Amino acid sequence: MTVRSRVPSSRDEELTAAELPGPQVASPECEPSRLAKFHVPEIVFGPSALAELGHCARRLGARRPFLVTDGGLAEAGWVAEAVGHLEQVGLSAIVWDAVTPNPKDHEVEAAHRRYVESGADVIIGIGGGSVIDAAKGVAILSGNGGRILDFEGVDQVVHPIPPLVMAPSTSGTGADVSQFAIITDTEHITKITILSRTLVPEISVVDPRLLITMPDWLNAATGLDALTHAIESYVSRAHNRLTEQYSLHAARLITANLARTLFRPTEAEPRIAMAQGALEAGMAFTNAILGATHAMSHQVGGLLDAPHGVINGILLPHVIRFNAETEAERYIALAESIGIETVGVPAPEIARALADRVRELADVVGVPKTLRSLGVTEADIPLLTRNTLKDACLTTNPRDATAADIARLFRAAL
Residue range 53-91, pLDDT digits in tens: 999 999 999 999 999 999 999 999 999 999 999 999 999
Res. 7 pLDDT band, cuts 50 70 90? very low
Rounded to an integer, the average pLDDT of 235-262 is 97
Residues in Cβ contact with 406 at an 8 Å cutoff, skipping those fewer than 6 apart: 292, 296, 384, 385, 388, 389
* DSSP 3-state of 62: coil
Residue 361 above 60 pLDDT? yes
**Fold classified for 215-413:** Dehydroquinate synthase-like, alpha domain (1.20.1090)
Starting at the edge strand that comes first in sequence, how are the strands of the sheet with 153-154 ordered? Answer: 153-154, 190-195, 180-185
Burial grade of 26 (CB within 10 A; 0-12, 13-18, 19 or more): exposed
Burial grade of 253 (CB within 10 A; 0-12, 13-18, 19 or more): buried
Average pLDDT, the chain: 92
Res. 4 pLDDT band, cuts 50 70 90? very low
For the stretch 131-147, pLDDT in tens is 999 999 999 999 999 99
Spatial distance between the Cα atoms of 302 and 318, rounded to a whole number of angstroms: 20
For the stretch 158-214, pLDDT in tens is 999 999 999 999 998 999 999 999 999 999 988 999 999 999 999 999 999 999 999
What pLDDT does 44 receive?
98
Pairing of strands 153-154, 123-127: unpaired
Res. 17 pLDDT band, cuts 50 70 90? very low
What pLDDT does 291 receive?
98
Specify the higher pLDDT residue, 291 or 33: 291
Residue 156 above 60 pLDDT? yes
CA distances from 386 to 181, 295, 408 (A): 21, 11, 13
What pLDDT does 199 receive?
97
Spatial distance between the Cα atoms of 27 and 15, rounded to a whole number of angstroms: 16
Residue 37 above 90 pLDDT? no
DSSP 130-166: HHHHHHHHHHHHHHH-S-GGGG-EES---S----EEE
Side-chain half-sphere exposure of 81, counting CA atoms within 13 A: 16
For the stretch 76-130, pLDDT in tens is 999 999 999 999 999 999 999 999 999 999 999 999 999 999 999 999 999 999 9
| Class of 42-210 in CATH | alpha beta
Specify the higher pLDDT residue, 25 or 275: 275
Distance from the first to the final alpha carbon of the chain: 50
Q: Are 251 and 357 in contact (CB under 8 A)?
A: no
pTM of the model: 0.90
Res. 265 pLDDT band, cuts 50 70 90? confident
What is the number of other CB atoms lying within 10 angstroms of the CB of residue 379? 7
Residue 283 above 90 pLDDT? yes
Residue 23 above 90 pLDDT? no
Pairing of strands 42-45, 203-206: parallel
Spatial distance between the Cα atoms of 132 and 351, rounded to a whole number of angstroms: 33
What pLDDT does 5 receive?
32
Q: List the single range of 25-34, 334-343, 402-411 with lowest mean pLDDT.
A: 25-34
Rounded to an integer, the average pLDDT of 218-223 is 96
What pLDDT does 33 receive?
60
Q: List the single range of 26-30, 90-94, 282-286, 298-302 with lowest mean pLDDT.
A: 26-30
- Percent of the chain topping pLDDT 70: 92
What pLDDT does 266 receive?
85
What pLDDT does 105 receive?
97
Specify the higher pLDDT residue, 4 or 402: 402
DSSP E strands in 27-177: the ranges are 42-45, 66-68, 94-96, 123-127, 153-154, 164-168
Rounded to an integer, the average pLDDT of 24-53 is 76
Q: Are 331 and 402 in contact (CB under 8 A)?
A: no
Q: List the single range of 9-23, 248-262, 266-280, 349-363 with lowest mean pLDDT.
A: 9-23
Query: Which H or E run contains 191?
Result: strand 190-195
Q: Where are the domains of the chain?
A: 42-210, 215-413
Query: Which H or E run contains 111?
Result: helix 105-118
Pairing of strands 180-185, 203-206: unpaired
